[in-house]
Amino acid sequence: MQYPNTISLRVYGRYALFSDPITRVGGEKCSYPVPTYQALKGIMESVYWKPTLIWYVDAVRIMNRIETQSKGIRPIKYNDGGNDLSIYTYLSEVEYQVRAHFEWNTRRPDLACDRNENKHYAIAKRMVERGGRRDIFLGTRECQGYVEPCIFGEGKGAYDNTPPLPLGLMVHGITYADETDTGQMQERFWRPVMENGIIKFIRPEDCPVVRDIHPQQPKHFTLGQTMTGCDTLYEEVMHE
């Protein structure tokens, strides 16, 4: 379904690491072959985010061939301050087309006066053109990413006209307390399928496997004090 406030953007970078939690038990990391919903949602939030709204990632298109590169990393041993040796397996030369939209966070009625869809949408599009309000990371901080506007589905992808490819059980994302009524931080899992190079994401509430992590309380924001209203931000952004 195409939403009126849909944003399409090209995401690319030299390396990406969408780590599979199963591979992290021994201190090493190995990337999933494709980005997770949560990683793409994090990119959208780096482009533009307000607690007034929630980004929903609708689909991702894999543009480049899935290739990996392993590196020897010397992470810090937190028990003695020394270094260890681990192997991290990254995706290399990645490029994606992402389609997402935002919806109001109805669990924040205190921010109802900040719900101006046209202004939020205009700011988000402007931020995509400028490469985002914050730095873009592809799964982890050492993997710098870049964004720019695009038309979803335009151009040639490495996996166009390929049959459905099940990717097995994967992390879908994390649900935070300010997005749900459970009072819990939760981890979600699903079984994605890539078809013609495109993965269509299900909504967070439709994930078949959900695991509670720990209790969590929503963060508090106050317009004019801890956050800038969209009216003020719109004037700043559109007239820079």
Q: Is residue 94 part of a domain?
A: yes
Q: Say which residues have a Cβ less than 8 Å from residue 100's Cβ, sequence separation at least 6.
A: 6, 7, 40, 41, 44, 55, 56, 57, 58
Q: Is residue 40 part of a domain?
A: yes
Mean pLDDT of 119-138: 94
Residue in this structure with the two tokens 């879908």, named with its chain if needed: 172
Mean pLDDT of 187-203: 97
pLDDT at 1 over 60: no
Q: Is residue 118 part of a domain?
A: yes
Residue 20 is predicted with a pLDDT of: 83
Number of structural domains, the chain? 1
Q: Is residue 111 part of a domain?
A: yes
CATH number of the domain encompassing residue 133? 3.30.70.2660
Residue 78 is predicted with a pLDDT of: 64
Q: Is residue 51 part of a domain?
A: yes
Residue 83 is predicted with a pLDDT of: 65
Q: Is residue 182 part of a domain?
A: no
Using pLDDT thresholds of 50, 70 and 90, give the confidence band for residue 81.
Answer: low
Mean pLDDT of 186-192: 95
Rounded CA separation 60/33 (Å): 13
> What's the per-residue H, E or C state across 167-222?
CCCEEEEEECHHHCCCCEEEEEEECCEEECCEEECCCHHHCCEEEEEEECCCCCCC
Rounded CA separation 23/133 (Å): 32
Which domain range does residue 110 map to?
7-167+196-201
Q: Is residue 67 part of a domain?
A: yes
Rounded CA separation 102/100 (Å): 7
State the pTM of this model: 0.91
Residue type, 40: L
Using pLDDT thresholds of 50, 70 and 90, give the confidence band for residue 209.
Answer: very high
Rounded CA separation 3/128 (Å): 18
Please write the tens of the pLDDT for every residue from 137-173. 999 999 999 999 999 999 999 999 999 999 999 999 9
